[in-house]
Structure 1
Amino acid sequence: MSAFLLCLDSGTTAVKAAAFDRHGRIVASAERQNRALRRDGARIEQDMAATRDDAFAVMRECAAELGGTLDGILVTGQGDGLWPLDAQLRPAGHAITWLDGRARQIASELQDAGTLDEIQAVTGSRPTAASQSLQLLWLQRNDPQRLSTIAHVLRLKEWLLFTLTHALLGEPTAALPVWGDWRSGALSPIVQRTLGLPRGLELLPDFAPVGECRARLSPQAASATGIAAGTPVLLGPGDVQSTLVGLGLGVRPAVTRASIFGTSAIHACHILDPALMPAAPVGATLQRFVLGDGYFLFQPSFNGATLFQHIGRIAAGLPAHAEPAYSGLILHPFLEPGGERAPYTSPNASGALFGLTAHARPEQIAWAAREGLAFVARASHEMMNAPAGVLSLGGGLAADPHFAGFLATLLDTRVERAGGGQAGLRGLAAIGARHLLGAGDAELAGSWVVPPDTVAAPRTGKVAQYARDKYALFVDLLDSISPHWQRMAAIRDLADDMMETTRQ
């Protein structure tokens, strides 16, 4: 009888599960839209019980297709946010997600005071409105009664591990950039002391390295998922590192950097010693690589492919899939209410559209949005001083050959993309194959990570000149407008307050 690994990735847009055989082949899969997200302006939360139910449903659907036993279950999910439990281990209200923008003003205040610089010097990463630390500080200032009911603070993947096993456990790669010292790899009290938080580290679960952070499937979860009780459940790294591994970063030698365009946009490279960098980019995050030596350095943006949903809502009639429609339009793609966290690190960042005339067509705006995301990608890789080499492209936009071609031209490098996607699940499976099946480096590179089936090469001539010139103008305009973001945010807050008064 065959044995399988079942992988669960609970994302912001969708909840996915896939089963892999011992050769890295997907033999069953299931997916459903994330029904648990709750948007209300800057307040973006998630129903924890609905999140659990969605996860159990895709696992049950996937397991029902299998004809054998499971060697193990691997779990990942959104890397940031605050998933609270009370003393009875029940959800203490909705989770505060990584998209929630309510801590934006606190982040702006701390940035002006230099506090964020002090924290980044220790953690290697700058706190944002997505960070548990600032979300706790927001609760302390704005909802102390709710804060008093919180006994445990988890991330989404830790919440799912708890629902599957009743074990309160975490792994350190996602926690250290918020609560730890990147040099020592240990948690540090400096963050909560610097922020003036009365409680911080004591709210976190116990930590164990990826591979060792595991528990057994409980009888209750077994009944809900159709999987045998006692099956090992391993907590993987966050969805970012899982996806980067699935794209081959750190696994396939030719791949030196990667970009993911999902709900957010992530741009990353693999480095062996971050201490050798001249200076860490302000918005970058450092995570220890879970399958070998070194670190993943990545720029995690708030603004990714959801940009098209936001623009489509504001400007009706935009095409969902855009072929190149070159124009003089330049779009700054910062539409999320939390501002932007990388590479342009400002809680007050906002979008803009330049060059608009009455002759502009919807398809030009749609293509300018894609160009804007590509421009941010180039800025990110330049700030990280990413090593030259192949870029592996993932996320929903990886399916767009026109976007991949423009990105290759803009970065002057080959861009690999793979049909079928599922990079996050594949990366998670590769991690499971290492820790549960004993797979070596060559096997992981050859069988488990996403195999590229299309390569976009840089173009020359007018398209290359257009990309270079427009990127330079994009940056110049950004340098000109960004000093005014804070004033614009203050006016926006005043307008929101006036409108709220009018409604009352």
Structure 2
Amino acid sequence: MYVGIDVGTSMVKAAAFDDTGRELAVQARPVDLTIRGGFVEQDMEEVYAAVVAVLSELSAAVPGPVELAGLTGQGDGVWLVDDEGRPVRAAASWMDGRAHELVDQWLADGTFETVFRRTGSAMFPGCPGPLLAWLDRYEPASLDSATAALYCKDMVFQRLTGERATTDVSDASMPFLDPRTRTYDNRVVELLGLTHRRRLLAPVSDPVATARTRDAGLPPGTPIANGPYDLPACALGAGVTAPGDGLLIVGTCLASLVGTTDLDLTGEPAGLYISTDRAGYWLRAMPAMVGTAALDWVLSTTGVRHDEVDALLAATPPGANGVRVLPYFAPSGERAPFVEPRLRAELTGVCLESTRGDLIRATCEGIGFAARHCLEAAGLTGSLAVCGGGTRSPAWMRLLADVLGRPLRVVEGEVGARGAVLAAAARYGVALDTAAWTEPTAVVEPDAARAAYYAKAYQDHLSRLTEARSRSHP
């Protein structure tokens, strides 16, 4: 048995697999986000307790020896810990927007672009650079008392194993890692005014760190590997390992990833290059801030249940009877395929005749247009896999195939946990049939007529986005 642990933003999951990649059982537990005035934080003790709980429940549901475990989780944010890996303060989430003024300043004075040209990372308010700089300015006591500024999975790994905190090249990619040398770029640290906080950056373990678990949910002594974080872990779990092939993760975050061996730091500063366990191979990532979170907000606001979405999409025509949604709902604005910290969502074309179905379809279409924008910017030329919570809606998958104008290799189940196991197996030298582990569950083909309609609607989306971006500047 192999166990994958995925510490997500709103849900912590643990999945058990047999050696053919068949999913044996999954345990999940929600975790809270505290959102107030642009601050988005998480209780680290709650997150860790959820990890231990799902592992304990999984062990009870599928008793037996565990060959090895792999760990992944949400990226970015700042998780300040002491020597024991215990929290110094609440974790600042990747969704946090408090540092938008610093990003605005760095956009204006050229620091933002300089950092991108050196690391391939386009900073946004919720990534560690701006958050650490904000904490250094407004909450220095927290940094003074911390031993390390970790990423989510690194905190969990330290608590599960007792090993000193490290991170991996994927998490370290934003924003301090030089993707060519796979080490921290101290000039970037200096540009962000953080040289005196350099000690907080966890050592980069390349390849990923391994250890054995203590008595915390898994059998003591279970071999476990730390990383990569959830985006590249999903790419592994979906079989996206060749240049040109892509992955769309329709989750809380709408993430677009395309494999590449070309490190081009000359284009528009947006997204990031994620370093992988293969030197010379990166994932060109365009992780838009909001995916299913946008739909969840609209569902909550309109009183529509998740199990009603498919029927409403089927009953509403393409174009949603004139209703349009620009799906930029995050309090920190947008980070891909452009950076606009002040950009906000827009809902237009609504009248007294508009229905709940119109609002739902317009939101799903808007998310699809955002995904197309990101995938084009990331350089998609090959096949496209899709995973995440959004794949549970067949109607949304058909809509996405039409909006994107290409077939979708739908990979269901716990794809991040699956990728974490594959990464752990590679690290420990355990031979697994990766083709069998990453087999798609379905292929959704686009409808030619609807795809042609959406190709024109996408151009309208880009025009409206340009106008919205111009209005977002003070």
TM superposition shift of 1:89 = 4.7
Query: Which residue is equivalent to 1:474?
Result: 461
Match of 2:240 among 234, 249, 256: 249
User: Is 1:323 matched up with 2:313?
Assistant: yes
Query: Which residue is equivalent to 2:335?
Result: 341
Cα separation, partners in 2 of 1:166 and 1:87, compared to 1, 3 Å = closer
Which is further off, 281-290 or 294-303?
Answer: 281-290
Query: Which residue is equivalent to 2:391?
Result: 398
User: Is 1:209 matched up with 2:206?
Assistant: yes
User: Is 1:378 matched up with 2:372?
Assistant: yes
User: Is 1:116 matched up with 2:112?
Assistant: yes
Mapping 1:256-267, distance limit 5 Å: 256-267=245-256
Cα separation, partners in 2 of 1:235 and 1:89, compared to 1, 3 Å = closer
| Aligned 8 A contact 1:110 1:116 in 2 | yes
Query: Which residue is equivalent to 1:418?
Result: 411
TM superposition shift of 1:438 = 2.8
Cα separation, partners in 2 of 1:200 and 1:377, compared to 1, 3 Å = same
Cα separation, partners in 2 of 1:146 and 1:438, compared to 1, 3 Å = closer
| Aligned 8 A contact 1:137 1:195 in 2 | yes
Q: Which runs of 5+ in 2 are unaligned?
A: none
TM superposition shift of 1:51 = 0.9
Match of 1:355 among 349, 352, 356: 349
| Aligned 8 A contact 1:242 1:424 in 2 | yes
Cα separation, partners in 2 of 1:108 and 1:381, compared to 1, 3 Å = same
Match of 2:420 among 425, 428, 449: 428
Identity percentage of aligned residues: 27
Q: Deviations 1:366-395 (Å, cap 9, x if unpaired)?
A: 1000000100111111112211x3211111
Paired AA for residue 282 in structure 1: P
User: Is 1:188 matched up with 2:191?
Assistant: no
Secondary structure, in 3 states, of the residue corresponding to 2:67?
A: strand
Paired AA for residue 178 in structure 1: P
TM superposition shift of 1:467 = 0.8
Which is further off, 169-178 or 332-341?
Answer: 169-178
Structure-2 separation of matches of 1:113 and 1:293: 31
Structure-2 separation of matches of 1:90 and 1:8: 19
Structure-1 separation of matches of 2:39 and 2:431: 43
Structure-2 separation of matches of 1:42 and 1:346: 15
Paired AA for residue 243 in structure 1: C
User: Is 1:309 matched up with 2:300?
Assistant: no
Structure-2 separation of matches of 1:289 and 1:93: 30
Query: Which residue is equivalent to 2:142?
Result: 146
Match of 1:236 among 209, 227, 232: 227
Secondary structure, in 3 states, of the residue corresponding to 1:244?
A: helix
Structure-1 separation of matches of 2:465 and 2:228: 34
Q: Which runs of 5+ in 1 are unaligned?
A: 488-504
Q: Deviations 1:154-210 (Å, cap 9, x if unpaired)?
A: 111000011111112221221033112112222111122101124343112222124
Structure-1 separation of matches of 2:131 and 2:174: 15
User: Is 1:459 matched up with 2:447?
Assistant: yes
Match of 1:9 among 2, 6, 11: 6
Structure-2 separation of matches of 1:210 and 1:360: 54
Secondary structure, in 3 states, of the residue corresponding to 1:205?
A: coil
| Aligned 8 A contact 2:84 2:162 in 1 | no
TM (norm. structure 1) is 0.88
Which is further off, 327-336 or 170-179?
Answer: 170-179
Match of 1:46 among 42, 67, 71: 42
Secondary structure, in 3 states, of the residue corresponding to 1:17?
A: strand
Cα separation, partners in 2 of 1:280 and 1:438, compared to 1, 3 Å = farther
Which is further off, 122-131 or 317-326?
Answer: 317-326
| Aligned 8 A contact 1:210 1:235 in 2 | no
Secondary structure, in 3 states, of the residue corresponding to 1:137?
A: helix
Which is further off, 185-194 or 282-291?
Answer: 282-291
| Aligned 8 A contact 1:291 1:431 in 2 | no
Structure with more relative contact order (C-alpha pairs < 8 Å, separation 6 or more): 2
Cα separation, partners in 2 of 1:14 and 1:23, compared to 1, 3 Å = same
Query: Which residue is equivalent to 1:294?
Result: 281
TM superposition shift of 1:148 = 2.2
Structure-1 separation of matches of 2:406 and 2:85: 50
| Aligned 8 A contact 1:87 1:149 in 2 | no
Match of 1:448 among 437, 440, 460: 437
Calculate the aligned-residue CA RMSD, in Å: 2.1
| Aligned 8 A contact 2:171 2:228 in 1 | yes
TM superposition shift of 1:347 = 0.6
Paired AA for residue 391 in structure 1: L
User: Is 1:68 matched up with 2:59?
Assistant: no
TM superposition shift of 1:468 = 1.7
Which is further off, 408-417 or 366-375?
Answer: 408-417
TM superposition shift of 1:318 = 7.7
Secondary structure, in 3 states, of the residue corresponding to 1:323?
A: helix
Secondary structure, in 3 states, of the residue corresponding to 1:274?
A: coil
Aligned residue pairs total 466
Cα separation, partners in 2 of 1:89 and 1:7, compared to 1, 3 Å = closer
